[in-house]
A and B are shown apart, each in its own frame.
Chain A
Amino acid sequence: MVRQFFLCALAAVAAELLPVGHSYAQAPDTVQLAPVTVSAPRYTRYAAGARVQAVDTLLLQRQPGITLADVLQQRSPLYLKSNGNGMLATVAFRGTSSSHTAVLWNGFNIALPTLGMSDFALLPPSANTQVSLQHGPSGALHGSGAVGGAVLLENPVSFAPQQRVQVQQELGSFGQRRTAATGSFANGRLALSSSFTRTASDNDFRYRNTTAFGSPRETLQNAAFHQNSFAQEIHYKISQAQRLSVRGWYVKTHRQIQPSMGSANTHAQQDDENLRLMSEWQGRLAGGTTTVRAAYFKDRLDYRNNASLATVDSLSFSTVGTYQSQVEHERTLLPNLMLQLGAEGQLFKAHVSGYGGKVEEQRFSTYAWLRYDPLPTLQLSLNVRQAWVQGFNPPLTPTLGTNLSLWQDQGNSLTLKANVSRSYRVPTLNDRFWRPGGNPALKPEGGWGYEGGLQHQYRSGSLTGSTELTGYALQVKDWIQWQRSTEGNYSEPVNLQKVRGHGLELDSRWHYQMEETWILSGGAAYAYTISQQKLPNAQAQLQARQLFYVPKHKMAAWAEVRYKSWWLTTDATFTGRRFTDNDNNHWLPAYPLVNAGLGKTFTWRSFETQLLAQVLNASNTIYQTLAYRAMPPRNFRLSVSLRWAAPQP
């Protein structure tokens, strides 16, 4: 379902402040965890006025194999909708749906082309991945699907000489186990990194089945899973001006599908296999930087349940091959004017049981991104993208954004941000080709977003902080929804809804270092979200209703204290009431969720051992993120990792 850098997309004015973000991203666990050299994400300088937030990468470094679903749950104000622990998990920005969230991996959209969304439980990023969240539409930068927002996964290139190896083993409640091994090497010319993780769980926790006669306590059935992930990167510096990179990411997941409480256990199983390969050549030529990328993805999703007794499709096989390429050229036209031109092509080859045959679709788009700083305190970006899709053409999607530095002194800076952006979403392959129902003539969805915000940065001695307040309005037209066909007893997609939303987002992060021994850091993010469509009420009058599974209030907060080799980390989220149907008949009550962990590092020469004990759902809250899908009660995890790093010369 689903479907999105750095600190604030403020390349210039905030340049001196960027280390605030880095202090989160890279505050070294110990002296040995060398800082990652950050090459600015390619979008950042063209995202003036947009809200782009880096996610704490320490989580990924400490717990390799943790999925994006877990990361976002603990570190973002986004609502994560999950069918259960390790099950299908989707994320939506600003009151849109999972299919309005674009997920890009090093510049390529990796949403499943059949469903048009990403399952965040199937995305265990490797340890050196940097995760950023683009809140709000950004069709010009990120293409189809970036209607509500985008999750950006980047693996930055660094040739700084280093050699590192890390192995980790984690054990937890309900049969949770995770093994990880990562290694990296760089010698100034060649950089290699490999990462392997295996995560599994029996998920056989006890819960109260509130849908059954007598509300008995039961053991969760049919919810075990295991997942293997392997990621490899090779970067080669051909010359000072040229670089070649190859990246591969393979994830294989087998899941039993946790049934809804009150529904028959049909022993459903799903096998996913996601192979992603890409190569990238970048060279400084003719006064500019040219980048050529090519990628091949293969996504397999096979589902089956107790075929003989089921009344719905009990077998579904789908394999999609995606071929993508991008060519980009960026050059500085004037000292304060920068231009990037690009073009991309995508070819999808789908073998899906529901399509009744092979289906191919081609999509192209070209884009131009302009960044202009007319004054030292004023940054403007103007981006446009035009896409062409086999059969129809999405609209031209422009974005205009600005950052205006209002005030700056020794420790403080205040920046005003504003952004207007258009977005689009091409119908998914299922929307177009599923039989029966699929409609090749569906219109793409389109949306507009308007936002404005204030950002405050503080830096004084050992205290740094960043606070951002954003208000926005959003609308999506021709929202595609599957509904009962007028022709027969099946569903079909139609351009049905118009959804309007508005909201507020507040985000604040702080970092304080006291002498050498104490480090305090923490942050909080809050989102107020209104997202409505009009539906008939019992009197058949159209009434604005909050979209289902969009909480009005969501808050996430986290804090970490480090003292010498010890650290204590906690995070807490509060999620408001969520309606579970579009008629707003039913809802899930608000709930808090608290996690905590205690870690200790032992160092001996070039070796380092890390012990980490965690309690998840510490308050033992009974909650659901998707109605009637049981979620784990209080549970524990214990991990040990061993690292070795070559001494720095």
Chain B
Amino acid sequence: MKPNSLKKYFLYLLVGSGTFLATSCEGDNEDNTPKGAYEHGVFITNEGNFGTPTAEVSYLSPDAKTLIPELFKTVNSRPLGDAAQSLTFLDDKAYIAVNNSEKIEVVNAFTFASVGVINGLKIPRYMAALHSTKAYVTEYVGYDFFGYTGTGRVSVLDLTTNTVTKTINVGLLPEGLLIHNGKLYVANSAGNTISVINTTTDVVEATITVGDSPKHLVLDANNKIWVLRGGYSSAGALIRIDPANNHALTTYTFPQGPNGAGQLTTNGAKNTLVFSYGGKIYSMATSATALPTTALINRNPYGLGVDPEKGTLYFGVGGYSTNGWVVRYQPSGTVIDSFQVRILPNGFTFR
């Protein structure tokens, strides 16, 4: 992007005092006592420069007036790690998967104070919780062109002890995952399948073939699973899986031709998909019978998020070694403002 063209839209970086931050949150909670300075807001995962511990989480207050570019370091006085991939809230904790540090950092969900770490992982990417003490994490293992002969992995986490209790073999380079109706669905991005794991036995009980390079999964309001996949020799696709109907597939193939999968998310009501493919962002009702023909935004996001309450679209872009930027858009695609965060903003978590 050309940040200077947006200069009048700026938020100020207010790395304010703790008191200021605490007061900024006073007005917006239901029970009167805030549980912490960062109970609500937008949490922006900045991947950082691979190979250096420059990953961070930036925090934007609910009124969008306070931005803390380095929330983790500000609170914990140490770097988060190398290559943050995702942030997952569960009850009173937040879990940050830091893939090249081979760890998940555990912080208090309200204060962001470090409370633990889960080690013993290989390239952790995304996490999904079954309940407050059990979760799953995909491990991005298996570049087969380097002669790797093993499988990809999903590890089972005990969140009471912060340990890995079991590792389940899935397809190569597993990425997105979600839990629905007691089953864990895992997108194997270097293959063409979704692994279905029984969360009682932690055994793979089915494999759904969806086509090249499935990457991200979301669940819509009608309990349908949507898969965004890429394509190496042919075009990628959006695929709807009906879990209630023997995993029946409906495939919407992109007209643009071969491309890597972009990002996939939903609005708060989970009745609209927002996704990127071929360098553009599209929006599509889950009830639609065809792919949208015109793009919502003609730009390629590194990270993409939709505020579940306001519908505001968050777009992350950035260099590999310099501060990245977040641009906010109205649901219609009109730019609201933009602000500087840290290196490679790749995801947004709303709370």
Q: Is the CB of A585 within 8 A of B323?
A: yes
Please give 10 more A-B residue pairs, beta carbons under 8 A apart, in addition to A262-B79, A263-B101.
Answer: A210-B78, A211-B78, A261-B53, A307-B148, A308-B142, A308-B147, A538-B12, A539-B12, A585-B69, A628-B79
Main SS at interface, chain B = loop
Per a CB cutoff under 8 Å, which of A215, A308, A315, A583 touches B322? Answer: A583
Distance in angstroms between the alpha carbons of A484 and B301 in the assembled complex: 13
- Asked if A311 and B82 make an inter-chain contact with CB atoms under 8 angstroms apart, the answer reads no
Minimum CB–CB distance for A436 against chain B, Å: 14
CB<8 Å pairs between A and B, sample of 17: A211-B101, A260-B52, A260-B82, A263-B51, A264-B101, A308-B146, A309-B148, A483-B320, A484-B319, A536-B3, A537-B340, A539-B7, A541-B4, A542-B4, A581-B54, A585-B323, A627-B52
A312 within 8 A of B: yes
Closest A residue by C-beta to B114: A213
Compute how far the CA of A34 lies from the CA of B117 in the bound complex, rounded to whole angstroms: 62
Top 9 closest pairs, chain A to chain B, by CB: A262-B53, A308-B148, A213-B117, A307-B146, A540-B3, A540-B7, A263-B82, A538-B340, A538-B13
Answer whether residue A129 sits at the interface, using C-beta atoms and an 8 A cutoff: no
Whole-angstrom distance between the alpha carbons of A298 and B229 in the complex? 46
Whether B40 is near chain A, meaning CB under 8 Å from some CB there, is: no
Judge if A514 is at the interface, Cβ distance under 8 Å. Answer: no
Closest residue of B by beta carbon distance from A209: B78
- A interface residue numbers (CB < 8 A to B): 210-213, 215, 260-264, 307-312, 314-315, 482-484, 489, 491, 535-542, 581-583, 585-586, 627-628
**Do A263 and B100 contact each other (CB < 8 Å), given the known contacts A311-B123, A539-B10?**
yes
Interface string of B111-138 (1 = CB under 8 A from A): 0001011000011000000000000000
Bound complex: CA A628 to CA B116 (Å): 21
User: A118 to chain B: closest CB distance in Å?
Assistant: 21
Please measure, in the bound complex, the distance between the C-alpha atom of A15 and the C-alpha atom of B52, giving whole angstroms: 50
Closest A residue to B142 by CB, please name it: A308
A-B CB contacts (within 8 Å), total count: 115
A308 lies within 8 A of B143 (CB): yes
B70 within 8 A of A: yes
Shortest distance in angstroms between A236's beta carbon and chain B's nearest beta carbon?
50
User: B residues within 8 A CB of A310?
Assistant: 143, 146
Chain B residue nearest to A488 in the complex (CB): B260
**Cβ 8 A contact of B10, one of A261, A482, A538, A627:** A538
Of chain B, the residue at the smallest CB distance from A312 is B50
Interface residue count for B (Cβ, 8 Å)? 50
Those of B278-324 within 8 Å (CB) of chain A: 319-323
- Give chain B's interface residues, CB within 8 Å of chain A: 3-4, 6-7, 10, 12-13, 49-54, 69-70, 78-79, 81-82, 99-103, 105, 114, 116-117, 122-123, 140-143, 146-150, 260, 319-323, 338-340, 342-343
CA distance A310 to B100 in the complex (A): 9
Shortest distance between the CB of A496 and any CB in chain B (Å): 11
- A309 to B124, alpha carbons, bound, how many Å? 11
CA distance A314 to B147 in the complex (A): 11
CA distance A585 to B7 in the complex (A): 20
- Cα-based distance from A262 to B103 in the complex (angstroms): 9
Smallest CB–CB gap between B150 and chain A, Å? 7
A309 close to B141 (CB less than 8 A):
yes
**By the criterion CB–CB under 8 Å, are A264 and B82 in contact?**
yes
Complex Cα distance, B275 from A69, in Å, reads 50
Q: Is the beta-carbon distance between A491 and B81 smaller than 8 angstroms? A: no
Q: How far is the CB of A72 from chain B (nearest CB, A)?
A: 24
Are A483 and B319 interface neighbours, CB within 8 A? yes
